[in-house]
Amino acid sequence: MACGWPTVKAIAVLPRDLPVPPAYVAQVRAVPGATVWYTSRWFNAVVVNCDSATLAAVSALPFVRGTQTLNRAAPVAGPRRQDELPIEPAQQRLLSDPVYGTAYQQALMIGAVAMHNAGFRGEGMQVAVFDSGFPGVNQSAPFASLRTEGRLADAYNFVERNANVYGRDSHGTNTFSTLAANQTGVFVGTAPKATYWLYLTEDAAAENPIEEVNWLVAAERADSAGVDVISSSLGYRDFDVPYINYAYADLNGRTAISTRAATVAARVGMVVVSSAGNEGSRPWRHILAPADADSILAVGAVDSLRNYASFSSQGPSADNRVKPDLAAQGSRAAAVSVAGQPIRLDGTSLSCPVLAGMVAGFWQANPALTAQQVIRFLQRSGSQYASPDDLLGYGIPNFVLAYNLANPGSPLAAANPAAAGKLLVYPNPAKDNELYLQLTAAFRALPLRVRFYDARGALVAEQTLPATTAAEVRLQVGALPQGIYTCDVRAGAKTQRSVRFVKL
């Protein structure tokens, strides 16, 4: 990452920061039939558009150590996006809010509402988004503040090699909205005040390794610009030329082009947030590149009830590292359409940017942390940090818990009653059977007895919950009639009887 931005630190110049020697590039360009598209300082390579005879001539140059063919097959008819899934029919808790609109539930789940209330909305943070197109971002109302405040710092189309990112596929608009949309009462993303860099790296009409190279050169451009966080809702395994497909053994953090690029991006000081993939209910089942990269955050998906979403790709990586790393809502996730209207979509393509916005806010709140420290604190805040699995990794992170882990001497009590030793229930008022109890540290890992008292002080319901290390548990309140209740929670000799809520 380049120095000079207020949110990043100076980093020593290493050989990977030096450009490919211009004399070498000039000699490649001089080969008849060779067109140099890009150079990569991280890989010390050039991308050349040429035929096989020209490639042989380039390979014969004395400074060329090796070549890799990036086949560009003809586009396949029909949609290519694997991230557009049927909406799951399972019953879900889809809350709305006068401020956040339909984005409320997914922001609330990871503590982004508390993060915003504490004053961290991404101000000063630089976030790059890699996707397949961003139509409507330059026109629709949910992105108006982004445009008027000058927070769109850069845009580039690596597929067509021009500055137009507002055409092609709408996938990027949908994913970007979960981060940056900011229209009160309609949709507020998780980092609505960050500065953004929009990079079109994905050709939605085809699937070729050149797209991974686009990812690489976009990451290098982001690094040069001082970007803090990369949000990438893309995944690679199957290509239009099948013999170059990745096998599961290739998802070892060292093989795929995009994976190697993501690893370097992490090493130069950016936090890379990548979708895990949508293969969970397909025969492949596993994560996709670059989610297998080391030292990044691969994001799986849950539904609005915090349950694993069946489509979410599963870990571990081929070398048995925990993957995905974390999870956020990706089933019936809220997003914004090209026309600026709220919609619901499924996919880790949504859970990835939802979480990336929280990453930006957390780093804004803790600017002295390194990228890897940011990742570790977020992992430690995960709902199943003590027992990670192949479905959700370390679980669903929580901003307040992560903040308090990073700042043990000054907990964020104002943003979250649980941080100050108080229990919290939400949503309040509660509707139907929707009530969650956020636990303080003293009430975790112990069996709980929960009693409900009505406004007259009469005991009306009781339930016992098994011990859990999760930050919150679901309470069964569907049978309670409308009214005002007090929730009494007992864990051993500990009792707290100060949580009141309204049942609608």
Tokens of 267: 């090493």
230 and 270 Cβ atoms separated by less than 8 Å: yes
CB atoms within 10 A of CB 223: 23
Identical topology for domains 104-406 and 417-503: no
Tokens of 362: 């957390």
Per-residue pLDDT of the chain (504 residues), as tens digits, is 333 333 334 445 566 778 899 999 999 999 999 999 999 999 999 999 999 999 999 999 999 999 988 866 444 444 344 444 544 444 455 667 789 999 999 999 999 999 999 999 999 999 999 999 999 999 999 999 999 999 999 999 999 999 999 988 999 999 999 999 999 999 999 999 999 999 999 999 889 999 999 999 999 999 999 999 999 999 999 999 888 999 999 999 999 999 999 999 999 999 999 999 999 999 999 999 999 999 999 999 999 889 999 999 999 999 999 999 999 999 999 999 999 999 999 999 999 999 999 999 999 999 999 999 999 999 999 999 999 999 999 999 999 899 999 998 877 753 444 444 566 777 766 777 777 787 777 777 788 889 988 878 889 999 998 887 776 788 888 889 888 788 888 887 666 656 777 787
Q: Which residue has the tokens 């690596």?
A: 158
CATH of span 417-503: 2.60.40.3080
- Provide the 8-state DSSP code for 254: T
- 499 residue type, one letter: V
Q: Who's near 164: CB < 8 A, 6+ residues apart?
A: 157
Which residues does residue 247 pair with via DSSP β-bridges, in sequence order?
Answer: none
Please give the CATH number for the structural domain made up of 104-406: 3.40.50.200
Compute the half-sphere exposure of residue 118: CA atoms within 13 Å on the CB side of its CA.
Answer: 25
SS3 of residue 359 by DSSP: helix
Q: Is 179 helix (H, G, I), strand (E, B) or coil?
A: helix
Q: State CA 136 to chain mean position distance.
A: 21
Q: Is 92 exposed, middle or buried (0-12, 13-18, 19+ CB in 10 A)?
A: middle
- As a whole number of angstroms, the longest Cα–Cα distance in the chain is 89
Alpha helices (H) in 96-143, listed in sequence order: 104-109, 112-117
Task: Say if residues 177 and 102 touch (Cβ distance below 8 Å).
Answer: no
The pLDDT score that the predictor gives to residue 94 is 62
- 154 contact partners, CB below 8 Å, separation of at least 6: 197, 198, 199, 221, 225
SS3 380: helix
Q: Which run of H or E residues covers position 212?
A: helix 210-225
User: Comparing C-alpha atoms, which of 17, 40, 16, 42 is closest to residue 28?
Assistant: 40
Q: What 8-state DSSP symbol labels residue 443? A: G
pLDDT given for residue 495 in this prediction: 60
Query: What was the pLDDT predicted at 9?
Result: 42
The answer to whether the beta carbons of residues 335 and 350 sit under 8 Å apart is yes
How do the domains of the chain map onto residue ranges? 104-406, 417-503
Coil vs helix vs strand at 172: helix
Residue 388 tokens read as: 């990670």
* Under 8 Å between Cβ of 329 and 354: yes
Rounded to whole angstroms, the Cα distance separating 231 from 349 reads: 10
